[in-house]
Homo-oligomer: A and B are copies of this chain.
Amino acid sequence: MDLRNYSDIDLRRKDLEKELKISLKNIGSYSLDAKSASKKNCENMIGASQVPMGIAGPLLTAQSPALPAGKSEHKAQSCFVPLATTEGALVASVNRGCKAIKLSDGVIVASHKTGVTRAPVFYTGGIIQEQKLYKWVNENKSKIKKAAESTSSHLKFKKLMFRGLADYVFIRFAFDSQDAMGMNMATLATEKIVKLIEKETGIKCISISGNFDVDKKPSWLNFIESRGHKSWAEVVLKKSVIKEVLKTSAERMYDVWLSKNMLGSAMSGSLGFNAHFANVIASIFLATGQDIAHTVEGSMGMTTAKIMKNEDLYFSIYIPSLMVGTVGGGTYLNTQKEALNILGIAEGDSGKNSQKLAEIIGGAVLAGEISLIASLSVSSLGISHRTLGRGEKI
């Protein structure tokens, strides 16, 4: 189905329901299980905020290679991508990127689950005690693991990172929380670890979070060490596709990429060497019930480009810190659950679903980068916002 061939919203949705064999009645009828939401998601509730949801795609994912342990193994597939946004032109832009990807034989995606982190700060009193704590922690990792894992059967302790600063110590604990984003699980597990440390060493915790986590703040620590998932996606855009679908050339796209994403970002002290990761991530996060404040971490990362001998264009993205889940939090809300269904994300907690989501987001972010960089390279940014954001036909 060509998503653009509908003048009627309901018809588009109904055909999508047929095509995917799912129900989208809540997305269509604007309903919400207020009782449940008021208990789990939102205090002092008075109703709901409603944001238009559009569809881009299909996004064709090429068969991934057999991956080493710790990497996912999902099969080649094609899926539609739901985006909730108020920014005219965004869905159309991702849609065009998906088309270019599809006609170039699909995107290759990969991901790595680093795990959710929580980092308490302790007050030691000074260097001598800091070194005792360092010793204790190094010698008692199995106790720490056991304490953490006693809090949930869905959580595995992965690793820790210890940093002493004067009379303070920061310890960043990383956990595998299966398909949950896992922030709350990580907090509970960390509380248990903290109690263990306090009891056995006498050293007190000042705060269960010492901003060495780093939650919802841009930071080089998360860029370098990753938090949640790493996500990569790449495609070799064919010369003919660049010309006919994107209306530009590999060289022009490369020039924009280099001057904007690399040089301009360097000149501005940015952690985002990309064009607009945040747009695509925020709109998928909103549609699928993710914590939208995690868009902050998702906005960091890099796009790369390389002109091939035959004037094809290698194009890729890398998101170092993508916090997503397919169970818990906002994912249980009616419209959000349906949006996950559109993506073909399975129910349950296999531990593979969040990786699949991380990889699809990688692919969609790539589509967004391709389309925007292409637009900029032919000076059409203003034009597309003018025509799309103000109601003219695409």
Contact = CB atoms under 8 A, between A and B. Distances in A.
B28 A9 contact: no
B339 A49 contact: yes
Interface stretch (A141-149, A152-160, A347-355, A385-393): A385-393
16 contacts: A30-B30, A43-B54, A47-B53, A49-B53, A51-B333, A68-B134, A184-B389, A187-B385, A205-B379, A208-B376, A210-B263, A216-B299, A218-B272, A224-B224, A224-B268, A296-B296
A86 B44 contact: no
A30 B47 contact: yes
Contacts of A207: 256, 259-260, 376-377
B46 A260 contact: no
B52 A260 contact: no
A211 interface: yes
A142 to B, nearest CB: 18
Contacts of A37: 52, 86
Given A86-B336, A110-B131, 7 more contacts: A43-B54, A49-B286, A187-B381, A205-B379, A216-B279, A269-B271, A281-B293
Given A217-B299, A268-B214, A259 B65 contact: no
Given A86-B291, A165-B263, A264-B210, A286 B51 contact: yes
Contact of A86 (B13, B50, B256, B289): B289
A46 B221 contact: no
Interface in A282-318: 282-283, 286-287, 289, 291-293, 295-296, 299-300, 302, 304, 306, 314, 316, 318
A123 B318 contact: no
B95 A44 contact: yes
A48 B46 contact: no
A135 interface: yes
Given A128-B108, A304-B263, A318 B9 contact: no
Contacts of A291: 86-87
Interface in A185-206: 187-188, 191, 205-206
Contact of A210 (B121, B259, B333): B259
- Across the A-B interface, the 6 shortest Cβ-Cβ residue pairs: A217-B272, A86-B330, A220-B269, A211-B264, A218-B218, A30-B30
A47 B67 contact: no
Nearest to A334: B50
Interface residues of A, number: 162
Contacts of A300: 217-218
A3 B41 contact: no
B278 A91 contact: no
A25 to B, nearest CB: 9
Contacts of A126: 108, 234, 314, 316
Nearest to A315: B166
A42 interface: yes
Contact of A127 (B211, B216, B232, B262): B232
A109 B164 CA distance: 13
Interface in A67-112: 67-68, 71, 82-92, 95, 108-110
